[in-house]
């Protein structure tokens, strides 16, 4: 295994990680910003007010984007396993 192939494999793993994490992180970010603005406007400083909506939105995102996320991970894993003979020999 050459250093270039290790770097390509690492790059692919990082790209897949970013693709899988991005929907959840973006939804949590947007929800946090919106709820933070509402809390600042109404001066309500309740911790559960920001936690529960973010939790529900992330769960909904997992339900909606979960099949796509799983497909991306399975495709990466299949390609990784299919490439093992080429990496060894």
Question: Could you report the per-residue pLDDT of 30-77, keeping only the tens digit for each?
Answer: 999 999 999 999 988 887 888 999 999 999 999 999 999 999 999 999
Q: How many Å apart are CA 58 and CA 36, to the nearest integer?
A: 17
Q: How many Å apart are CA 16 and CA 89, to the nearest integer?
A: 25
Q: How many Å apart are CA 70 and CA 63, to the nearest integer?
A: 11
Question: Could you report the per-residue pLDDT of 17-26, keeping only the tens digit for each?
Answer: 999 999 999 9
Let me know: does 51 contact 85? Beta carbons within 8 Å.
Answer: no
Which ranges in 1-89 belong to alpha helices (H)? 3-42, 47-82, 84-88
Q: What is the pTM of this model?
A: 0.81
Around 53, how many Cα atoms within 13 Å sit in the side-chain half-sphere?
Answer: 15
Structural domain spans, the chain: 22-78
């Amino acid at each position: 295994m050459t250093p270039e192939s290790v770097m390509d494999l690492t790059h692919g793993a990082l790209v897949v990680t970013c693709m899988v994490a991005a929907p959840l992180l973006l939804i949590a970010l947007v929800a946090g910003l919106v709820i933070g603005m509402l809390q600042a406007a109404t001066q309500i400083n309740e911790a559960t007010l920001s936690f529960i909506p973010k939790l529900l939105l992330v769960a909904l995102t997992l339900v909606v984007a979960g099949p796509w996320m799983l497909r991306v991970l399975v495709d990466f894993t299949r390609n990784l396993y299919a490439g093992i003979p080429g990496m060894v020999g």
